[in-house]
Amino acid sequence: MGPGGTRWDPVGPGGTRVGSGWDPVDPRLVRGQVSEVCEPETGVEKVKRKWLQRTVWTSFIGFFIVSKYFSVWKAAIASVMELLIISVSCLLLPVARACESGSCGDLLQVGLSLHSEAQRAADEHPWPHARGKVPGQRGTTDVQSRLPGGKRANWSWHNPAGRWEDMVGGGPVIDKERCMYLMTEHGLWKFSPSGNVLWHYRTPGKSANEPYLTGDMLLSSTTEGNVFAVDRHTGQELWVTHVADDAGADAAYPAALGGVFVVASSRWKGSSDSAPSEPWGNTQIFGLAVHSGEKLWDFESDAVLMDFTPLFPNDDTFVFMSQDGSVYRVGLHNGTLLWKADSNISDSYSDGGAVIGPNGVVYACSNIEHGMQGTPGVVRAFTLTSGHLLWEQILKDPCCTFPAVGHVKGSEALAVVVAAGAWPKEEVDTGSVLALEAETGALLWQFNAEPYAPPLAAGDEERLAYFHRHPGVSERLLCVLCLPAQWSAPVIAGDGAVYVGRADGKLYVVHGALIGDEVPANLTRDPVTGVHALVQSVGSTPVHGALGFAEGLLAYATCDSLYVWQEP
């Protein structure tokens, strides 16, 4: 236990416990690599330091200038006055740091708020959320990656207790120092860019949710109905708020904007007049104050929430999709429903979600039926202002993941990218990655992946065999098997390539229809459509939030491991 009774757990290389309590030795220096300590000064400290440096230099320069034209004693008085300013600023530094954490007086907080906004814009984390930067979350990144390039990962990690002893929730988020954070059922882990485990936080209950990274804080929730925040530098617990008696165990991707953390909890009980009873999802959404954990409001959904992901158009509202394909827009600061675009298919089921394009259009990926092989999926476009349906495109295969919106290779038009494919429960599952024109829904290109034979996703068969040999392990986990959707959520890279993982244990990088000398030898060509993709075996299946990007770094999480590729 750390100070104040927190569940902070310092660890050494490979996840080995350094001690049972608060260890005075910095666990990040276990290997003596000081360069890997990901703990820079805060934004306010940096501004104050630069201000102090400039003031000192100004006092000396001012002394010489004033003494040249006036008397020396007047110059000395001017320098003393400037040094007094330095002293006052030093006294204010602790208060400024308190303001940065949201705990100072209103007047000084207002004075620093303009700087805080500017500092946040300058110090953005490259991958704070499963769908990218917030606001936005379009499933895009500016990074133009050459990774993985058919090469093995530079390093990988799984729980040191054993690969099948744990289950990964979502995927990695990445800070501005390229340190990564990963949630598993056994807690929250921080990794240096080279793979050292820097700390481990024992969450207040098990969780399959991906954490959200904002400033110097990480936020998430657990199946015990607890929402929590920790310091990203130390892993020290900042607050815990209990919002529900229990929560669904399905992976989710909560996020925050404007000081409000939006998260789903309260396990869905089901009802006779809506979606079937689904023990993995939730029914309520909560808004909590980021810096204190205070509950601000709650909102009751009309249908179960699977893989809940709030999307922020940066106008004091948020948008989300429920499992039946209905899309909602809700007030960020009061939880008031602004509009609902009803799918009118109460028994529809999708594990997917929505995305907001830069054109102010909401795109949703869902199903006509339950997402089984041989049943259709549907992509719909709605206006952000009113939820009016603009177009819909019926797909041959189900749509059980999130769309991405951006510019892809092979087209100048803004594109909506979806990965279509049924739940891996049939003898043979087909799947494809499609780019649709954002304005009309017309097909731009399509890559058809090789069919594969479930019933189990890659890695689940080995996991099940391990549980048979070790019968007590499965009782410690929320799920016996990963049981993912067929595809992870796609991400459009800065060069227009589309990254997406699949339940066949492979990572796909789709490049569109290339011609001539553009085509590298290691790409696979769809013989029907002519679209090319790198298809690389990783070993086991991912869930939706599997991917993470930073400059020169690609992180990819499966249900049991984290893989990281780095450019030399």
Residue 346 DSSP SS3: coil
Which residue, 319, 419, 409, 308, is CA-closest to 360? 319
Q: What is the pLDDT of residue 568?
A: 86
Q: What is the pLDDT of residue 426?
A: 65
Which residue, 567, 457, 546, is CA-closest to 500? 546
User: Looking up tokens 């807690």, which residue turns up?
Assistant: 187
State the average pLDDT over residues 44-67: 45
Residue 331 DSSP SS3: strand
State the pLDDT confidence band at 520, using cuts at 50, 70 and 90. Answer: confident
| Segment 57-82, tens digit of pLDDT | 444 444 444 444 445 455 455 454 54
Helix (H) or strand (E) segment spanning residue 550: strand 547-550
State the average pLDDT over residues 242-253: 84
Would the pLDDT of 438 be above 80? yes
- 143 within 8 A of 550, measured Cβ to Cβ: yes
How far is it, in rounded angstroms, from Cα 473 to Cα 240?
A: 28
State the pLDDT confidence band at 353, using cuts at 50, 70 and 90. Answer: very high
* CB contact set of 129 (below 8 Å; sequence gap of 6+): 137, 173, 210, 212, 213, 253, 255
- Tell me the whole-structure pTM to 2 decimals: 0.81
Q: What is the pLDDT of residue 483?
A: 84
Q: What is the pLDDT of residue 270?
A: 55
Q: What is the pLDDT of residue 272?
A: 37
Would the pLDDT of 513 be above 90? no
How far is it, in rounded angstroms, from Cα 303 to Cα 326?
A: 8
- 354 within 8 A of 320, measured Cβ to Cβ: yes
Using a pLDDT cut of 70, give the percent of the chain over it: 74
195 CB neighbour count, 10 Å cutoff: 18
- Hey, what CATH topology would domain 155-566 get? Methylamine Dehydrogenase; Chain H (2.130.10)
Q: What is the pLDDT of residue 192?
A: 98
Q: What is the pLDDT of residue 88?
A: 42
State the pLDDT confidence band at 374, using cuts at 50, 70 and 90. Answer: confident
Which one has a higher pLDDT value, 363 or 426? Answer: 363
Q: Which long-range contacts (CB under 8 A, 24 or more apart) does 130-133 make?
A: 130/170, 130/171, 130/173, 130/210, 130/253, 130/309, 130/489, 130/544, 130/545, 131/253, 131/309, 131/311, 131/355, 131/402, 131/404, 131/489, 131/545, 132/491
| Segment 173-217, tens digit of pLDDT | 999 999 999 999 999 999 999 999 999 999 999 998 999 999 999
How far is it, in rounded angstroms, from Cα 545 to Cα 253?
A: 8
For residue 10, is the peptide bond before it cis, meaning its omega torsion is within 30 degrees of 0?
no
Structure-derived torsion over alpha carbons of residues 534, 175, 415, 209, reported in degrees to the nearest 10 = 90
State the pLDDT confidence band at 38, using cuts at 50, 70 and 90. Answer: low
Which one has a higher pLDDT value, 118 or 359? Answer: 359
- 194 within 8 A of 155, measured Cβ to Cβ: yes
State the average pLDDT over residues 130-150: 94
Enter the tokens of residue 188.
Answer: 């929250």
Enter the tokens of residue 560.
Answer: 């049991």
Q: What is the pLDDT of residue 478?
A: 82
Using a pLDDT cut of 90, give the percent of the chain over it: 58
Would the pLDDT of 225 be above 60? yes
Which one has a higher pLDDT value, 103 or 283? Answer: 283
| Segment 533-560, tens digit of pLDDT | 999 999 899 999 999 999 999 999 999 9
State the pLDDT confidence band at 269, using cuts at 50, 70 and 90. Answer: low
Would the pLDDT of 341 be above 70? yes
Which one has a higher pLDDT value, 486 or 80? Answer: 486
430 CB neighbour count, 10 Å cutoff: 18
Which one has a higher pLDDT value, 2 or 445? Answer: 445
Q: Where are the domains of the chain?
A: 3-36, 43-122, 155-566
| Residue 185 exposure: Cα atoms within 13 Å on the Cβ side | 22
State the average pLDDT over residues 397-417: 94
Residue 363 DSSP SS3: strand
SS3 helix, strand, coil % of the chain, rounded to 5? 20, 35, 50
Q: What is the pLDDT of residue 527?
A: 94
| Gap between the terminal Cα atoms of the chain | 39
Q: What is the pLDDT of residue 279?
A: 53
Sign of CA dihedral 261, 266, 267, 268: negative
